[in-house]
Structure 1
Amino acid sequence: MSPSKRARTDSLSTTKKDHSNESVFKCLSEAYCEKHSCNSVKTPSVMQNAGKEHADTMDTGKEYDKKMLAKEVMHPSLMNCEKVNTGIKDADGMKTAGKVNTGIKDADGMKTAGKVFSILKTGEKLQTGEMYSEKGEKTEKCLNNMSIQHNGKEQIKEHGKNESSGEMYSEKGEKTEKCLNNMSIQHNGKEQIKEHGKNESSGEKTIPSQYDKDVNIFWFRNGIRLHDNGSLHNASQNTKGKLLPIFIFDGETPTTNLCGYNKIKFLLECLEDVEQQFQEAGGKLYFLQGKPVKLFRILNRHFNLNRICFDQDIEPIWLERDNAVKDFCISKKIDVFEHIGATLWDPLEIIEANGGTPPLTYAQFCHVTRAIDQPPRPKEDIDLKKVNFLELSETLLEELNCFPSCPSAEDLGYKWSGEKKVFKGGERLALKYFNRRVISEKEAFIDRSFLPNRHNPDILCPPKSLSPDLKFGCLSIKKFYWEIIDAFEEVNKGSPPACYLIVSQLIWREFFYTMSANNPFFGEIERNPVCIDFPWYKDDEALSKLSLGMTGYPFIDAGVRQMRKEGWTHHIVRNAISMFLTRGDLWLSWEHGVELFMIHMIDADWAVTVGNWMWVSSSAFERALNCSYCLDPRTYGKEVDPDGAYIKKFVPELANFPAQYIYAPWTAPLEEQEKASCIIGKDYPGPMIDHDKASIENNKMILQLQKKVLSKYKREPDHIKPSDESEINTFFRI
């Protein structure tokens, strides 16, 4: 397999370059605060596996000497670079390729797990240390009568072999099973004796080898679907090996440890839907627990792993996990296929096309992506009924800590706290709602409009949002993009041609993904090179009031309570919460807001969530701290909900308040409060902060910081910012 120039590609062999200290971001935030220079984390590149002889450095760093190939045969699946001395060449002359199909493990519980592909002649013996039976007799005859797998063909030994069953016999016709079960091999220079499947040195039971089974692993992560799944294509279309679909609960994938009840329920519903589709095709999706490398190591002891296939997770918070998997695959000569499935383009390719740094504005991002070309079309569906699935034994399932079926939220340690999730997860349901969405979009195109959900928002009863489905990959982003583009072209017959404007929400998503790609500190302030370091307040009491929806501002509280109960809010509501927490009122760090959203919002993508919070707080994506506009929580929601129905639904204390007071109930006369059975300050809190005073004070602090920056650098520094005022107005819908 030829190497790729990037770590994350559709197909790559498994080699990773060292991280570089080269600054990808050029320390963009240096203009705002005298912070450290940033070191970017380079994603690993790959190198070619095919045709390489075994001179690679393995886990222990020991190098295999090509000159010793005639005497020492090393297989890549040796865990600690141990060498198996065979004393012979294999059938190819000098190349190592082997694994001895003896059906036993070594004394370390199959850590060497190797196979030596060689053709033995009568009278030859393996120099792995002498081999003995229970009584101490040499088992040379047994070895001389065994069968060896070589290049996919079984080589028949002399002295009587049962060709139909593959059983092995000695000269007298006796099965050699006992001999094989009592053989010894050289491991780390010491002879280990096997006795009826027991490891004498550790007392551990051995597990019969299944190395006659070649396996391709399909590792579900964020792309929990079967349609347009390049990783499924890569895993299932390799005819050498059975397909093993897995999902790993490692406390991180595909969420993080910041995950609430609604979010984990949605994930499990997505997995249940895919599990059912596999079952209908005669297969099974296995749900494992543990760290990926540990689980792959176990599987590699039992099977000959050909390849591990998964979708790219471009967000740098996953880099350590993925690099560990790739390093393991390098040491075992397992191919890795990493497919671009969560985004329209490969963010690393966009950065490369832009000269090695991310585009600083949305307009620049659009320009670069147009130069790259359109995103690829969705892939054809796989006919699962034609796929050869692997079935794992009960013993192995126990070793892998595998759930018998898709677990419940409670199985994973989550407790219900009154949540009432309104969105149900699953690929087939997502496709159903998506088809309705395409019809709605096409009707808007006919009416010479676009983005109907954004232009006519209904924050109380929104149509089925597809953002959770895109987050978990139940719906392909490429399918979404191309069906909207094709619908526009169908309606307008190419005049005007389709453009990014009709799918702008998807393009913004790509923009934030690209900005985070090489920045592992994208989600924090201190080490983030694209973030302005504001002197935010620290106020735990104020943070607690906002987190519980008890600020005294009904529109803010309704949004927080909906988020905690249902796991979702409209974009307009999110903007109001974000500005209130940060530069609008409370002057608290946006990091708190990211954590709150990541826990409770079903659709919370790390990169997109962080990017939006930095934008609204003016910590990044802002035009040189020009933050004169501030949302007023007393009026912002009136444009889309003048009667306050949204507030009355999620803040039931105010259900009887008249519309004229619903956004600022403390202004209602006492008589009105009594009529509504809600006394402000008693039944519902008064405003926790004076918005007019806070916004004025906060704006002064921003202007002071702006003046300091511009006086020091004599110009507006390069940084991430809106392309023009229209972008700001569109973002906040003003």
Structure 2
Amino acid sequence: MRCSIKYNWPLLVLNSQSMSVLGSVVHWFRLDLRVHDNLALRNAINEAENRKNFLRPIYIIEPDILKQIRGNRLRFLIQSLHDLDANLRKLNTRLYIVRGKTSECLPELLKKWNVKYLTLQVDIDPFYIKQDEVIENFCDKNDIFVVKRVQHTVYNPQTVLKKNNGNVPLTYQKFLSLVNDIQVKECIEIKKEISEDCKSSDFNSKSYDVPSLTEIELDESSDFKYPGGESEGLKRLLTYMAKKQWVCSFEKPNTSPNSIEPSTTVLSPYISHGCLSARLFYHKLKQVESEMRHSEPPVSLLGQLMWREFYYTAGTGTENFDRMVGNSLCTQIPWGNNKDHLKAWSEGKTGYPFVDAIMRQLTQEGWIHHLARHMVACFLTRGDLWVSWEEGAKVFEDLLLDYDWSLNAGNWMWLSASAFFYKYFRVYSPVAFGKKTDKDGLYIKKYVPELKKFPSEYIYEPWKAPQSVQRAAGCIIGENYPKRIVDHDKVHKENMKKMSEAYKINKEKKALKRPRSD
């Protein structure tokens, strides 16, 4: 279910009499919720100081969008905005929260505040691209200078594409070869306090304050495992970078998808919201790696960051990257449309305890291990349920703290063997995969408490337990916990045949489109 949120915030009332005589410079925060390594923000500060204009760093909260964000993501966002406001106040400025539809309220504010200079970050999410088109068109007509900076990635995706003759690199190794000689710029810092002259008369107005969790009907007292914000992101980064041996020996396949506490950094939510600079993470990793022998991409920590860069490049250069139809990279597969299966999967009620534990952890905490994501994505698509990867991507968009448009689409295509990865016959077992790192099923017992009294020998396959064992455990399969919705051993073989046929048809279609040579 999506969050049910009521909005009682006052709407901005704008009229010609409230126009500012003195001009303003605006920095528009979106996916760059930080002060460190924020060149667009520094450009705005310098321009405001030089022009003797008011500085207004803004963030726009759109009610329609917030209704689509689940509790964990919304909580993380609001906490990040509070932290951003606190860090801006250390620089003698503040965050102005604007409530309304961007395409309507931002042009009005730019007029009201007499803005002639607007800075923002380049983002490739189609949602932000549409916003940019509207706002840039307005700015062009109203003589407002717009500065956009690439600062959400280590590399500029357009630069990478240009090096590859405008083509998307289709393999990770090809991407690495393209960026190998690109120098990564150093991070910038903003330390100087901003002049008092840059404070507007509405600086202390409560109407621009960040809403509290209570205002958006979230419990402030509840324990939240991964609090949002730049401060927390930097703290987490420094904590892990201090573990130099751990960083240098990190290898993705050797981490556990079902450990009770994360076996990875969980820095991804902070990077995806822009609370932590990807470029800062890159430089910190390179610094640690320079001191001792270390693992290499794709399995190293740096390799994990490069996967993000790879998908950003692919997403930048591919039309309709987040859908199957019209996506030149994506194999066209006739997925089924079993809504009951999709619902059971999303709610953690498939009857496969390992799959259900992963999905319930995701719902409760907003984060799951990347190998756990592999498991449930494969299970939903080519492995077991034959449901479109687009449907799974929508669920992850709702639930993941670290939801990222390009990574979400890219990973779902990979795991469904629709693009980038074509060994569709390599299917994760919903039984054997979890046993490798948690044979007693402690992870399952935590997130699927109905099964906590089941003996270890049946914890991954509770349907095999005798009735006497089920009664002793206080959980009857089919009553207290669902029966498995498919037989993995049977259905994954059937799905492999479907994948083989889809690949064959796609290959034939591509052959027909190729121009003949006379």
- Residue of structure 2 aligned with 1:247, choices 59, 76, 83: 59
Q: Give the Å deviation of 1:525.
A: 1.6
SS in 2 for 1:555: helix
Q: Give the Å deviation of 1:295.
A: 3.1
Residue 319 (structure 1) aligns with: 129
Q: Identify unmatched segments of 5+ residues in structure 2.
A: 1-13
Per-residue CA deviation, residues 66-115 of structure 1 (Å, 9 max, x unaligned), is xxxxxxxxxxxxxxxxxxxxxxxxxxxxxxxxxxxxxxxxxxxxxxxxxx
- Residue of structure 2 aligned with 1:585, choices 384, 406, 420: 384
The structure-2 alpha-carbon separation of the partners of 1:535 and 1:474, relative to structure 1 and needing over 3 Å to count, comes to same
Q: Give the Å deviation of 1:386.
A: 4.7
The structure-2 alpha-carbon separation of the partners of 1:703 and 1:209, relative to structure 1 and needing over 3 Å to count, comes to closer
Q: Give the Å deviation of 1:459.
A: 2.8
- Residue of structure 1 aligned with 2:459, choices 647, 662, 665: 662
Residue 433 (structure 1) aligns with: 236
Tell me which of the two structures has the higher relative contact order, counting C-alpha pairs closer than 8 angstroms and 6 or more residues apart: 2
Report the TM-score, using the length of structure 2 for normalisation. Answer: 0.89
- Residue of structure 1 aligned with 2:211, choices 397, 403, 407: 407
Could you tell me how far apart the structure 2 residues matched to 1:561 and 1:209 are?
Answer: 51
Q: Give the Å deviation of 1:476.
A: 0.7
Q: Give the Å deviation of 1:711.
A: 5.2
Residue 231 (structure 1) aligns with: 40
Q: Give the Å deviation of 1:383.
A: 2.0
SS in 1 for 2:292: helix
Q: Does 1:681 align with 2:478?
A: yes
The structure-2 alpha-carbon separation of the partners of 1:689 and 1:574, relative to structure 1 and needing over 3 Å to count, comes to same
The structure-2 alpha-carbon separation of the partners of 1:382 and 1:484, relative to structure 1 and needing over 3 Å to count, comes to same
Residue 262 (structure 2) aligns with: 462
- Residue of structure 1 aligned with 2:302, choices 503, 506, 512: 503
Q: Give the Å deviation of 1:314.
A: 2.0
Could you tell me how far apart the structure 2 residues matched to 1:258 and 1:534 are?
Answer: 28
Report the TM-score, using the length of structure 1 for normalisation. Answer: 0.63
Partner amino acid, structure 2, of 1:247: Y
Partner amino acid, structure 1, of 2:441: G
**1:421–1:567: 8 Å Cα contact kept in structure 2?**
no
Could you tell me how far apart the structure 2 residues matched to 1:654 and 1:686 are?
Answer: 13
Residue 344 (structure 1) aligns with: 154
SS in 2 for 1:287: strand
Q: Give the Å deviation of 1:362.
A: 1.1
Q: Give the Å deviation of 1:330.
A: 0.8
Could you tell me how far apart the structure 2 residues matched to 1:393 and 1:444 are?
Answer: 49
Could you tell me how far apart the structure 2 residues matched to 1:420 and 1:461 are?
Answer: 15
Per-residue CA deviation, residues 429-480 of structure 1 (Å, 9 max, x unaligned), is 111111011122x1236xxx53267633363211551110011111110000
Residue 138 (structure 2) aligns with: 328
What is the correspondence of 1:85-484 to structure 2 with a 5 Å cutoff? Answer: 206-207=16-17, 209-211=19-21, 213-238=22-47, 239-240=50-51, 241-251=53-63, 258-371=68-181, 373-386=182-195, 388-393=197-202, 403-409=207-213, 411-412=215-216, 421-440=224-243, 442-444=244-246, 449-451=248-250, 455-457=254-256, 459-462=259-262, 465-484=266-285
Q: Give the Å deviation of 1:311.
A: 1.1
**2:356–2:448: 8 Å Cα contact kept in structure 1?**
yes
Q: Does 1:519 align with 2:318?
A: yes
Partner amino acid, structure 2, of 1:231: A
**1:210–1:303: 8 Å Cα contact kept in structure 2?**
yes
Residue 3 (structure 2) aligns with: none
Could you tell me how far apart the structure 1 residues matched to 2:19 and 2:222 are?
Answer: 47
Per-residue CA deviation, residues 279-322 of structure 1 (Å, 9 max, x unaligned), is 34432211001233433433343343231111111233321111
Residue 535 (structure 1) aligns with: 334
Identity in percent: 32
Partner amino acid, structure 2, of 1:693: K
Structure with larger Rg: 1
SS in 2 for 1:523: coil
**1:247–1:285: 8 Å Cα contact kept in structure 2?**
yes
- Residue of structure 2 aligned with 1:695, choices 471, 477, 492: 492
CA RMSD of aligned residues (A): 2.8
Could you tell me how far apart the structure 2 residues matched to 1:256 and 1:312 are?
Answer: 22
Q: Give the Å deviation of 1:659.
A: 1.0
Residue 11 (structure 2) aligns with: none
Q: Give the Å deviation of 1:214.
A: 2.5
Q: Give the Å deviation of 1:545.
A: 1.1
Residue 631 (structure 1) aligns with: 428
SS in 2 for 1:309: strand
Could you tell me how far apart the structure 1 residues matched to 2:508 and 2:231 are?
Answer: 57
Residue 9 (structure 2) aligns with: none
Moved more, 239-248 or 524-533: 524-533
Could you tell me how far apart the structure 2 residues matched to 1:256 and 1:510 are?
Answer: 27
**1:224–1:473: 8 Å Cα contact kept in structure 2?**
yes
The structure-2 alpha-carbon separation of the partners of 1:581 and 1:455, relative to structure 1 and needing over 3 Å to count, comes to same
Q: Give the Å deviation of 1:348.
A: 1.5
Partner amino acid, structure 2, of 1:562: Q
SS in 1 for 2:118: strand
The structure-2 alpha-carbon separation of the partners of 1:383 and 1:688, relative to structure 1 and needing over 3 Å to count, comes to same
Give the total of aligned pairs: 495
SS in 1 for 2:115: strand
